[in-house]
Amino acid sequence: MLTGYLKYKDINHSFVFDENKSELQIIPVEAEKVASSVTIRTNDLPKMNDPYLIGTINENHHKIIFVSIQGSSVRRVNNVLYIRLYAYFIYNSINTEAIDKITFCSPEIDHIFNVNRAFSFSFKNEKDFNRSGTVTIETNDFDSTTSQIQSFTVAGKNVNVSFQISRTISTKIGKPPLALQSCLCFEFEATDDYSFIINLCHYARNFIRYLCFRKNIFFTSVDIYKPVEETKHLNIGEICFFDSGDKPEIEPLSTSRCIKYEYIAGCEGKILSDIVSNSLYLRHLPKTFEDGKHIEVSSFIMITAAFEWEFGRNYPKGIIKSASTIKAEDAVSEAINDLLSKSIGKQKNIYKFLLRLVKSDSMQSEIIQFWKDYSDIIGVFGEHLYSLNHVKFDYKEIGKRVSDQRNHFAHGDLDKDFINEALLDVIFMEYIVYTLQLKSFGLTEDNIRKAINDVFHLNFAL
């Protein structure tokens, strides 16, 4: 429990804050300036417009930044205001200094950037180890345990990204003498723009979500730093999120279901750039690994939407068409345009709609085009998946089944029987989406295969 003081709406307040609760209690110091009320109707509740509040902790005079949920209602009981929080910065000093580096740690990052690369061990006499218990552990230097720096841009500011491994030495009983952790690191020009910092945290989380194919990614620590020398930084505090106490799923970690750094090396900046610009489709990621084992109507539609989005990014001009098809489309377009020029009102709107459909690609034709261009990359996965389930592996049939079933769902055709094989098809579509995405980032075919093999734990010897 922390207590302290801050300013809210230019009025001095004292605060009470339980670090385990996502709610801040503030009490005006001059109570007469705030009208008191025991109960307030919901429609009368004021909204929280300030993105953050800067406070000072009574116990040590250190600074704390409360990040609010903007637009949320501020509850009031008597003179106590209750503000909903998203996160908070807690400094280990009396000043709020500019931040130029953030590091993110989680069990998933230990697997993405293998933490074991940070050390080696040796025995003086391996045969004698069980009797003597003597082993020598040596950590590798920082340069060999830090990835090459890549960069991306956020709100016009350049951000450098790298993977690093931190080392913590302790002599305290109950703690390991040496703790190693892989971390994702962002470096940028020093700033006190806390909204910018929080956005970076969003992008970091989505980056790890993408590499793990699930949304329940929780950082065990988010540390902040200030510049002290030209290339050095000093830890000045941490950022705490209220969902960070959730436990990671064991199964995907134990089987290392993630895309390893070695496969995306050199492409980190490209992936993050697409995340920042919302170009990379992520809505289809399951909430948890367990959720990913089940296909529901909503997930079916989102996976097919992910395919169409990523296909459009890879084929901005659409699929490659024959000269006869282009000629036929042009003739139909010309005929509709002629009717369009002579029509008005609802009839004109219908012709506009038909005109858009003339040159649009069907999902079936898009899947066939994918097969022509990318079958060498993931065809082996598809053949294995369908043979296990005794279904013929045919891209034309896959495209037709997925397209038909998606339309049944979208149009509410409850009288139509579910196409059983389409369940298998949409699982394979998850592989297809990753192929399109990873290819757009410039990964080699071999690394794309390895990435898909690992993140879906397909157990192929590649």
Q: pLDDT digits over 345-400, tens only?
A: 777 776 565 556 555 557 888 898 999 999 999 999 999 999 999 999 999 999 99
Give the whole-angstrom CA distance, residue 35 versus residue 22.
Answer: 25
| One-letter amino acid for residue 371 of the chain | W
Bridge partners (DSSP) listed for residue 275: none
Q: Find, among 421, 357, 438, the residue nearest to 386 by Cα.
A: 421
Look at residue 355 and tell me if it is in a domain: no
Query: Which pairs count as long-range contacts for 41-49, CB under 8 Å and 24+ apart, including other chains?
Result: 42/73, 45/73, 45/74, 45/75, 45/76, 46/73, 46/74, 46/76, 47/71, 47/72, 47/73, 47/74, 48/72, 48/73, 48/74, 48/83, 48/84
pLDDT one-digit tens code per residue, 275-305 = 999 999 999 999 999 999 888 889 999 999 9
Q: What is the pLDDT of residue 38?
A: 40
Look at residue 354 and tell me if it is in a domain: no
Residues 158 and 29 in one domain: no
Based on DSSP, count helices (H) and strands (E) in the chain, helices before strands.
13, 15
Look at residue 330 and tell me if it is in a domain: no
Look at residue 356 and tell me if it is in a domain: no
Q: Considering 46, 68, 91, which residue would you say is the last residue of a domain?
A: 91
Q: Is the pLDDT of residue 449 over 60?
A: yes
From the CB of residue 206, how many other CB atoms can be counted at a distance below 10 Å? 20
Residues 149 and 40 in one domain: no
Look at residue 335 and tell me if it is in a domain: no
Q: What is the pLDDT of residue 319?
A: 76
Look at residue 389 and tell me if it is in a domain: yes
Residues 178 and 271 in one domain: yes
**CB of 439 closer than 8 Å to CB of 374:** yes
Q: Is the pLDDT of residue 42 over 90?
A: no
Residues 32 and 139 in one domain: no
Give the whole-angstrom CA distance, residue 8 versus residue 330.
Answer: 63
Residues 130 and 238 in one domain: yes
**CB of 209 closer than 8 Å to CB of 72:** no
**CB of 119 closer than 8 Å to CB of 140:** yes
pTM equals 0.88
* 322 confidence band (pLDDT: 50, 70, 90): low
Report the percentage of the chain scoring pLDDT > 70. Answer: 88
Look at residue 284 and tell me if it is in a domain: no
Look at residue 125 and tell me if it is in a domain: yes
The upper half-sphere exposure of residue 354, i.e. CA atoms within 13 Å in the direction of its Cβ, equals: 16
Q: Is the pLDDT of residue 31 over 60?
A: no
Range with top average pLDDT, 16-30, 116-130, 148-162, 165-179: 148-162
Q: Domain total for the chain? A: 3
Range of the structural domain that residue 30 is part of: 2-91
| Tokens 């806390």 -> residue | 194
Residues 27 and 69 in one domain: yes
Q: What is the mean pLDDT of the chain?
A: 87
Phi, psi torsion values for 156, nearest 5 degrees: 80, 0
Residues 87 and 111 in one domain: no
Residues 123 and 268 in one domain: yes
Phi, psi torsion values for 158, nearest 5 degrees: -80, 135
Residues 104 and 84 in one domain: no
- Between 61 and 324, the higher pLDDT residue: 61
Kindly give the pairing relationship between strand 233-241 and strand 178-191.
Answer: unpaired
- Between 15 and 247, the higher pLDDT residue: 15
From the CB of residue 193, how many other CB atoms can be counted at a distance below 10 Å? 13
Q: Considering 28, 56, 91, which residue would you say is the last residue of a domain?
A: 91
Mean pLDDT value of segment 78-88 = 92
Residues 185 and 311 in one domain: no
Residues 300 and 255 in one domain: no
Q: Considering 68, 91, 114, which residue would you say is the last residue of a domain?
A: 91
Residues 255 and 165 in one domain: yes
